Structures are given as C-alpha cells and as structure tokens.
Amino acid sequence: MAMDPFQMRQLLIRCAHFISQSDFLSAHRFLSIISSNSSPYGDATQRLLHYFSSSLSHRLPCSSSSSSSSLQQDGLQSCYLSLNQITPFIRFCHLTANQAILEAIEDCGMVHVVDFDIIHGVQWPPLMQALAERFASPMLRITAIGLDLTSLLKTGDRLSKFAHSLGLRFHFHPLLLLNDHDVDRLVPAALTLFPDEALAVNCVLYLHRLLKDDVRRLLHKIKALNPKVVTIAEKEANFNHPLFMQRFLEALNHYSLIFDSLEATMPQNSKERLEVEQIWFGREIDDVVSEEGNKRRQRHERYESWEIMLKSLGFSNIPLSPFALSQAKLLLRLHYPSGGYHLQTLHDSLSLGWQNRPLFSVSSWH
C-alpha cells in the first residue's frame, strides 16, 4: 500500500529503533514495506528512504555489504567532480577558505599551503589566479597530503600546468600517509618550511575522519608550525554521538535537506544526480548508519564542538570578512540560483544551508 512521506519517515525511524533494540524480526518486516515504497529513481523522499533502508539492512545479522575498496575509490574520485558541479557545498567551502587565506597572508607574495586530502586540487586554481593578479612575482608551494601517491602526482601535474599558464612560480610536494590515523608522520621535519613564506594549513572536510585523540594530536602539531592561518570546513551535523538512534536521527535530518536541495535544483532523471546520491551521499549514509566504533569514518560534529577544541589548544578565531560573505552570495546567484540555499554568519564562522538549516560551515584560525 502507498504511504505519504511522513508515514514512511516514521516507519523508517521505528525500524531503526527495532534494530537498536536487536528486534531484527520486526526490523526485517518493516524494511520489506519500506523497500517496496522506495527507489533510487523516485522523488527525494523515495530516494532518501532507499539509501537509509539499505544502510539499516547492513546492520541485520548475516547481511553483507558493498563493493571492493579500490572500485569504491575510483568511483569516489570521478564522482567528486560531479558533486562539485551540481551542489554548491564544496565550492562554497573552497571559495571561503581561499578568501581567508588571501586575507591572512597580507602582502606576502610567497605562500606555502599544507593541504589535507587535496583530491583533484580543484580548490587551488582560483587562489593561484588571485596570487598572479595581486603580486609582481608570486610563488606558491603546496604540500599535498593524501593516501594515494598516483592520485597526488596527477593532481600536482595538473596544478603545475595551470601555474605555468599564469606565469606563477609553483612547487608541489606530495606527502603520503599510510592511513588517516598516521598523523605522527606530520611532524614539522616532514614539511620543508622557509622563513620568508606565509604558511597556510587547509583542513577542508578532513578532520571529521579522525578519532578525537588523533584530531587533538594533529591540531597540536599544526599549532607548532605557527601558520598564518588554519582554514577548517566541516558539515554542520553531529554524527559522532555514541548512541545509534541519536546518530540515525541526526543523519536523517541532515540528508533530508541535502536530498531536498537536489530535488529542487536537479531533474529526477539526471545521471549526475543519481551518481552523486548513490556513490557519495549513499556511501556517507551507509557509514553513519551501518558502521560502529573505529570502522566509522563520518565523525562530523557541529561548529561549536570544533570551536571548543581549537580554543582549548590555543587557537584564536579569525573573523571571516564581509567580502567572504558577498563572494559566497555571488557563487549562489551565478551557479545555484535557488531560493532554498541560505548563508549565515555565526560565531565568526560562515555557514551554507538549505531552508534556514545550516549544512556546512567554514572558519579561520590562527
């Protein structure tokens, strides 16, 4: 029988509750009803139900999940570019972090960026362009930290070619980590630091992957480098709650807004939308809902939690400028002209949300 979106949502929550109580028989019965009312090709609610019910099913006894990690990584790499095109979230984070870096370096034409998880390096061409326009003989060095050397080298090659086209002096240094917990390699000795360059450390959508002790150790090491600026961007969501039901409800609310924004801005038959929902957001949902303990990678916390941690380690907040806000407004107006997106300044951070609910925030620290 067909149900309205509210009924289906309530059914999903009850199913999660049964799983939290280890009542797998009832959960299985509810999942059967939900799966017959959901689809990755339907409206926003049907798509959301599909990914959440699929993730809940992975918590049932004898369930098996997903494909090989190498296939997943290849899919994620290509999907990232689609995500960057059809949603404003990553571009907003990059644009706002870049503006904070430009304002912090002041009149220094030699800049060294330490970038955690550079992926395709799409954040840096606009900064390179700004440096080339602003200074007579600028130089940019990027220390790119990642888990895949081949991907790092390809990114370095692309950025080097772009820098050459601008006449910008550019150096790229890949720094390979064995895994996300390998923070002990990031001692100052691993980084070549010059006294006459402005150091910027970029943590865009990265810190949430680490366990809390690892985050504190990493931030402590970053503080010891005495950078001009540390840029941090994270989701406005608490996926790090120890109780499963709290995490589940938080994820359901967060991704409801994400899927609503895609529904309002992309056609249902969009191949890119399906790819982004399936490979990117579907994977995130599965991680939050189906994984526990050290296996989980999505450990997002709200800005207030990061703020408390950073201040306790001796960092000071650098307020984002009015120009950063006007740039973000321009980004939305030019590329994502929907009335649903919403910008908000809160406690010296800038957040982007949907329907007045913040989804991502960017802040700048020293």
* Domains of the chain: residue spans and CATH: 5-67+237-295 (no CATH), 86-236+302-365 (3.40.50.150)
Using CA atoms, how far residue 124 sits from 162, 164, 322, 327, 339, in Å, is 10, 14, 22, 16, 28
Residue 69: its pLDDT value, please? 45
Three-state DSSP at 165 gives helix
Task: Report the distance separating Cα 327 and Cα 360, nearest Å.
Answer: 16
The sign one gets for the Cα dihedral 366, 168, 123, 332 is positive
SS3 of residue 352 by DSSP: strand
Residue type, 16: A
Which residue has 């007045």 as its token pair?
356
For position 140, what pLDDT does the model report? 97
CA distance 19 to 33: 15
Judge whether 138 and 110 are in contact, CB under 8 Å.
yes
Q: What is the DSSP letter of 313?
A: T
pLDDT at 193: 82
Alpha helices (runs of H) in 64-148, residue ranges in sequence order: 69-86, 89-105, 124-134
Q: Angle, to 10 degrees, between the axis of helix 303-312 and the axis of helix 212-224?
A: 50
The H-assigned helical ranges of the chain are 5-20, 24-36, 44-57, 69-86, 89-105, 124-134, 149-166, 212-224, 244-265, 271-275, 282-290, 303-312, 322-335
Cα distance between the two ends of the chain: 57
Determine the pLDDT at residue 67: 44
Model confidence over 181-222: pLDDT tens digits? Answer: 777 766 555 677 888 899 999 999 999 999 999 999 999 999
pLDDT of residue 139: 96
The C-alpha atoms of residue 4 and residue 276 are separated, in whole angstroms, by: 25
CA–CA separation, 335 vs 76, rounded Å?
23
Supply the pTM of this predicted model.
0.93
Rounded Cα distance between 205 and 199, Å, is 19
Closest CA to 121 of 140, 137, 107: 140
**Cα distance between residue 159 and residue 157, in whole Å:** 6
CB 30 within 8 A of CB 52: no
pLDDT value of position 296: 87
What does the pLDDT read at residue 341? 96
Angstrom distance (rounded) from CA 49 to CA 13: 11
Q: Which two tokens stand for residue 106?
A: 């002041």
Query: How far, in Å, are 2, 46, 106, 152, 249 from residue 97 at the CA level?
Result: 46, 35, 15, 21, 30
Work out whether strand 349-354 and strand 341-346 pair parallel, antiparallel, or are unpaired: antiparallel
User: Which residues are within 8 A (CB) of 361 and not within 5 positions of it... i.e. 6 or more apart?
Assistant: 233, 234, 236, 303, 346, 349, 350, 351, 352
Residue closest to 56 by CA, chosen among 104, 93, 24: 24
Q: Which stretches of the chain score pLDDT less than 50?
A: 66-71
Cβ 184 vs Cβ 153: under 8 Å:
no
